[in-house]
Chain A
């Protein structure tokens, strides 16, 4: 038993917007965007936010891992609730024990790397699930709209068989305002890149890196790869001042995903770990009003997690859209007239939710101890054999299902028509009518295999509330998902 990173995971939403769509849509006002119109950026679906992204990254991280997190640290600058524990929602979705500690971290793009530094400097016995997630929106036509993406990554840190040891860590604080977002505004305000590069990255990053290397007792030459959340131009500058070959910078995932804010350093790290080799030393850098640096040493345990953890899977499975107005609408930046049906009042009964919060947030159904039938929703009377008080809790969130019937409904309101829903059959008799997500029109069929994903069920625009539930999504042709469901 030793202390370190026990597992890693990541999630990138399947929707991607071709950057050319932004350029084509906005070139009339900002012709220079054409120069940035390469690749695609990850876009959260209308029913995704930084909490749901966090849940998916965590599920990727915890897949097949026996160590249960004793605390959850959720780092983001875009958590949906300012006063309601966002990490508490994640804990319930992950079926964590009631005494699991929950902490929301924010305030800076370094929120996650600073937490990792803290875990590195103060190793403790409690296994911590550190999740980094962001879902930042940007002004239409801005450079940020082009460059940003939505995504999340997670690390499990604690005692066990680490896939990586934390050899050194340091945080350096400096109130260098390269960009900021006031608490009561929607968008970031960003300054000139030349200044950010010259005065910011090039001068601040080396200070944190030196301290972390000193803590690790290593020199920069012993670092094989560097995780730096920055574009190629800035990366080159930093490599130069660190006296590092630029090839040692890990692909920052900007072309195929985008800059995911707080999540970016951990997302790039997860990407690096997918191909890391035992003994390799990786330097992870966080930047934003200072810098964090963490030196990791990969162990031989890494092999067990490679091929089934990290962003590779979700990066590979995508639905690319080139519809800029659709993107704006999905991000609630275009007030499309969806008709009077969209006016429905979704006032949540909080007592009803609290009473059944496990059912909703954890998709906890029940299994009858008599006839063994699994069922959702659970009730006091078995749906199959009719026996009373024979059921014990069991979640369906990890199961793979089969579509028995479905429709694509163009009458019902949804922010991304058509509204697709249907009857899904699971193992051991369970059967449920559910709202689907991430299916393109014409994609679902009777017999389609689906997995469950934690998503926003409805918004209550009047009261600024949102509620979550689980939805069937397409199972991509991947042995990973099928195998994990079979073992669940």
Chain B
């Protein structure tokens, strides 16, 4: 019987570039910026890294296919590098590859790097690709806001909500994340917004307004991992360890079958339950001290609070308005500013989330420090609610 990944792998160094419109940087500079920080943090030499995983989504737009963008950027000594891509869960997938490699004993130290260079398109939103294969012949040419906006229309219909009440809760989420982002020098958007501004922003895809949407930015983030045994050998005592890493891709249930009403994220529910089982979490609302969830849109964060089992079904609006997910709430969410303020350089996002949890668990988050949290959660949702890849990971403290 497999025992899962819990307490087997330690994160010994992390780095994160400044996120934003990095007009002056290509992917190689972003990679280097994150890598230098992680290498110094881990206090190892580049030559001690034996394997690496690169998370990169828009290969044509960003840096190119294969292992090469990472291997070339860091002039790695021909070590195995694997490029992974799993939509918005890409960064987390890079970490999972590295974590599994050291857990398997295939190597002692591995690097997970995520990077994306989105702002070279010259237009707003995510890059467009050539469309002409089977799915393109019938699926709508949906944008991300349009696909996620439907969570709101379906959620409001299911719970018989006035759209204005739902919009107010969504606005609260954006206001909260912006307040958090102000405290973070690495965030893209560092500006306080008001509920009124959020509610009155121009419509992007009904009912989502501009302030319901995360930004588009460039960035990179990385982690250096090793086994708990190796960490002990290195003289590390209290380390951040992986408690759980779970992934759940859609199988067609949501979109091709009437069992799904469009108001929630099925795969997130599946991944969360598996992660809690793997990490030994019985009561997530009490045990989890902070979360970095995939707030690509305000409404995504809202329904994810229920899908992760933190808020009861239909109860997210009340919890949001009660401040449960605010910085000083019971389960702070997006204390670094989230996708809302960091933007979403797709390959980097999962690792950027882990970076904040890592800093918070080690008490190194500076102005943003939340006291002494011991268990944090990251969540990604790649694709669209009707067809996606969800990841849920847990990180905690461990004495070697």
Looking at the assembled complex, report how far the CB atom of A428 sits from the nearest CB atom of chain B, in whole angstroms.
Answer: 9
CB-CB < 8 A to B257: which residues of A? Answer: 373, 375, 383-384, 429-431
Please name the residue on chain A nearest to B385 by beta carbon.
Answer: A405
User: Chain A interface mostly helix, strand, loop or mixed?
Assistant: mixed
Please name the residue on chain A nearest to B251 by beta carbon.
Answer: A383
B23 at the interface (CB under 8 A from A): no
CB-CB < 8 A to B141: which residues of A? Answer: 344, 412-414, 419, 435, 458
User: Chain B interface mostly helix, strand, loop or mixed?
Assistant: loop
Looking at the assembled complex, report how far the CB atom of B22 sits from the nearest CB atom of chain A, in whole angstroms.
Answer: 20
CB-CB < 8 A to A318: which residues of B? Answer: none
Q: Which of B133, B206, B208, B252 contacts A379 (CB 8 A)?
A: B252
Q: Is the CB of A345 within 8 A of B153?
A: no
Query: What's the tally of chain B residues with a CB closer than 8 Å to chain A?
Result: 49
Q: Is the CB of A421 within 8 A of B146?
A: yes
In the complex with contacts A340-B123, A431-B257, A409-B157 CB distance below 8 A: no
Looking at the assembled complex, report how far the CB atom of A92 sits from the nearest CB atom of chain B, in whole angstroms.
Answer: 13
CB-CB < 8 A to A458: which residues of B? Answer: 131, 136, 141
B73 at the interface (CB under 8 A from A): no
B114 at the interface (CB under 8 A from A): no
Q: Is the CB of A423 within 8 A of B154?
A: yes
Q: Is the CB of A407 within 8 A of B146?
A: yes
Looking at the assembled complex, report how far the CB atom of A459 sits from the nearest CB atom of chain B, in whole angstroms.
Answer: 11
- Per-residue CB contact flags for chain B residues 199-228 toward chain A (1 = under 8 Å, else 0) read 000011110100000000000000000000
Q: Which of A377, A407, A414 contacts B153 (CB 8 A)?
A: A407
Please name the residue on chain A nearest to B204 by beta carbon.
Answer: A411
Looking at the assembled complex, report how far the CB atom of A400 sits from the nearest CB atom of chain B, in whole angstroms.
Answer: 14
Looking at the assembled complex, report how far the CB atom of B297 sits from the nearest CB atom of chain A, in whole angstroms.
Answer: 11
In the complex with contacts A346-B132, A384-B257, A419-B146, A408-B137 CB distance below 8 A: no
- Per-residue CB contact flags for chain A residues 6-24 toward chain B (1 = under 8 Å, else 0) read 0000000000000000000
A172 at the interface (CB under 8 A from B): no
In the complex with contacts A411-B145, A412-B146, A377-B205 CB distance below 8 A: no
In the complex with contacts A409-B142, A409-B143, A446-B157, A345-B255 CB distance below 8 A: no
In the complex with contacts A412-B142, A446-B153, A404-B128 CB distance below 8 A: no
What are the 6 closest A-B residue pairs judged by CB atoms, nearest first? Answer: A409-B146, A405-B150, A405-B262, A446-B157, A421-B140, A405-B154
The 21 listed contacts between A and B (C-beta, < 8 Å) are A340-B121, A340-B123, A344-B130, A346-B132, A352-B137, A375-B257, A405-B150, A407-B150, A409-B145, A409-B204, A409-B205, A410-B204, A410-B206, A412-B140, A412-B142, A421-B142, A422-B150, A425-B258, A432-B256, A435-B140, A446-B154
List 15 other contacts, CB 8 Å, given A340-B121, A412-B143: A341-B128, A344-B128, A344-B141, A347-B130, A349-B134, A352-B133, A353-B137, A384-B259, A405-B153, A407-B150, A408-B205, A412-B142, A422-B153, A431-B255, A433-B142
